[in-house]
Chains A and B, each alone.
Chain A
Amino acid sequence: MGTLYEDIVGYGGEVFGEEHMETLRECVQCGKCTGSCPSGRNTALRTRKLFQMALVDLREEIFNSPELWFCSTCYTCYERCPKGVKTTDIIRTIRNLAAKEGHMSVPHRMIGVYVMKTGHAVPIGPDQMKLREAVGLESQPPTTQKYKEQLEQVQTIFRTTGYDAMIDFDWDAMNLKGMEKKGGKKK
């Protein structure tokens, strides 16, 4: 574990390229991101502040800031930043690092559960099958939820990258560890 900046460049750089992530250094705190932010209009999210926190290595503070999760990834600031800071990809990378260190809400972890069980973040049920029939479509689309061997490929990806361990997934119960069948306790 290096500084937060080094980790952002390292982890995000493997996907986006290091130069892309190093744009964080270009931030001059002008606040155009914050002024453009549709979330900041209603929430405590101050994108400019997040970047300054990242640059001065306030790792625990940023990981424990609820507003880190208020960005909708709309890319408005990404397009408007006069210094070319790749804002949205930097925010997503900080979230990745936070999640790896256990800062991930139960509803967010549950999205992973649905995808591990069905291959879909929003799976189909009997009522929706009727909706499909009403518009002349096959009751179930030919996706991972229908074909087990295809779903197993997606499950292999989760096992390989360690996503299952990251969200504390229990393969026997096909749910988060320590969760009741419905709903569940907060971590």
Chain B
Amino acid sequence: MTEDSKTYAYFLGCITPNRYPGIEAATKKILKEFGIETKEMMGASCCPAPGVFGSFDMHTWLPIAARNLTIAEEMDLEIVVTCNGCYGSLQEADHLLKEHSKLREKTNEILGKFGREYKGTTEVHHSIVVLHDVIGLDRLKAEIKKPMDDVNVAVHYGCHFLKPREVRGHGSSETPYILEDLMKVTGAKVPDYKDKLMCCGAGGGNRTADSVQSLEWMRQKLVSAIEAGCDCMVHPCAFCHLQLDRGQTEMEQAFGVFFNFPILFATQFLGLALGLSQEEMGLDKQTTTMPEKLLK
């Protein structure tokens, strides 16, 4: 169904709509430009965060995630997301409920209290996979208006996009390729850097419970990207965006140093190359600022 499907239910989550709506605007605009419609999921909640609610009580995490899935099922649409947390949570819940019939019964008992039922008729997709596999690199390349030939991009995958592999299905988590492919379409270079595959430090309740430790973790990652000569960091996760962008203000408060290392969601970077302005994608209203090189 995916290849032919031109409309997705857009699961917004929390950070995308409530902190970085520029990610939402950029994603909707680009998908629309390539003939893909996104529909709002009325009444959706927090996914809820897999490393957070999954750590506190997975028996609460699961029915909340399942409830979100039922909204897309009622719309008869597959889901697209712009956050690895949402991706991790919804795809994992969907996977578990499809695998374990007893678990599905138990979950539906809870959902039945307010007239919902999980049926297992939707799928959960990440927006960058829709760009890579459904729209395709050739079609993207044909529309590039501002080549990024002189830009070195540090790609950051985040954790729950690639792992666990048995659920995500994007190949090796040690040698990923999707973000690299998408960046190269714009002409950008994608240098390797030491901590490329390292977590941003925010997940699992770390950012909430021990922010300085979580910021030190991120500081090491940013330093390794800067040392490799990268001009900016591009990622597929709204929660990583919160940590990597706003976290740079918090790093300044904690460590007295402000890197101002530009952070962009994948569709924001592609948006610039496709000719969208930074204003229409909210890049002028975040912590880190975009250098001339990216805006020219």
Interface residues of chain A, those whose CB is within 8 Å of chain B, are 12, 14-17, 38-39, 41-43, 69-76, 78-79, 88, 91-93, 95-96, 99-100, 104-105, 107-108, 110-112, 115, 119-124, 128, 131-132, 134-137, 141-144, 147, 150-154, 156-158, 160-161, 163, 166
B25 touches A137 (CB 8 A): yes
Q: Does B187 contact A (CB under 8 A)?
A: no
Residue of B nearest to A68 (CB): B55
Binds A, one of B123-131, B148-156, B206-214: B206-214
Residue of A nearest to B207 (CB): A72
Selected contact of B51 from candidates A72, A100, A152, CB within 8 Å: A72
- Residues of A close to B25: CB separation below 8 A: 135-137
Residue of A nearest to B158 (CB): A74
A96 touches B55 (CB 8 A): yes
Distance in Å: Cβ of A78 to nearest Cβ of chain B: 6
B58 touches A143 (CB 8 A): no
Selected contact of B201 from candidates A38, A115, A154, CB within 8 Å: A38
Selected contact of A107 from candidates B40, B201, B209, B285, CB within 8 Å: B209
Extra A-B contacts (15), CB below 8 Å, given A70-B210, A128-B21, A158-B60 = A15-B103, A16-B96, A43-B213, A69-B55, A105-B209, A108-B56, A108-B208, A122-B19, A122-B242, A131-B282, A135-B280, A137-B25, A142-B43, A156-B110, A157-B63
A38 touches B217 (CB 8 A): yes
Selected contact of B14 from candidates A71, A75, A121, A131, CB within 8 Å: A121
Q: Does B145 contact A (CB under 8 A)?
A: no
B59 touches A144 (CB 8 A): no
- Residues of B close to A69: CB separation below 8 A: 55, 204-206, 209-210
A111 touches B280 (CB 8 A): no
A153 touches B18 (CB 8 A): no
Distance in Å: Cβ of B251 to nearest Cβ of chain A: 14
Binds A, one of B136-144, B160-168, B227-235, B259-267: B160-168
Interface size range of chain B in the complex? 35 or more
- Residues of A close to B44: CB separation below 8 A: 142-144
Residue of B nearest to A99 (CB): B56
B163 touches A79 (CB 8 A): yes
Per-residue CB contact flags for chain B residues 238-282 toward chain A (1 = under 8 Å, else 0) read 000010000000000000000000000000000000000001111
Interface residues of chain B, those whose CB is within 8 Å of chain A, are 12, 14-15, 17-19, 21-22, 24-25, 40-46, 48-60, 62-64, 67, 96, 99-100, 103, 106, 110, 113-114, 116, 159-160, 163-165, 173-174, 195, 197-199, 201-206, 208-210, 213-214, 216-217, 220, 242, 279-282, 285
B40 touches A154 (CB 8 A): no
Residue of A nearest to B93 (CB): A15
B208 touches A154 (CB 8 A): no
Selected contact of A73 from candidates B42, B50, B103, B116, CB within 8 Å: B50
Residue of A nearest to B56 (CB): A99
- Residues of B close to A153: CB separation below 8 A: 43, 67, 114, 116
Selected contact of B17 from candidates A73, A92, A111, A124, CB within 8 Å: A124
9 residue pairs of the A-B complex, CB under 8 angstroms, read A15-B59, A72-B201, A72-B214, A79-B163, A92-B55, A115-B48, A121-B14, A122-B14, A142-B40
- Residues of B close to A132: CB separation below 8 A: 17, 21
- Residues of B close to A71: CB separation below 8 A: 204
Distance in Å: Cβ of A142 to nearest Cβ of chain B: 5
Selected contact of B58 from candidates A38, A93, A160, CB within 8 Å: A93
- Residues of B close to A74: CB separation below 8 A: 159, 163, 198-199, 203-204
- Residues of A close to B203: CB separation below 8 A: 72-74
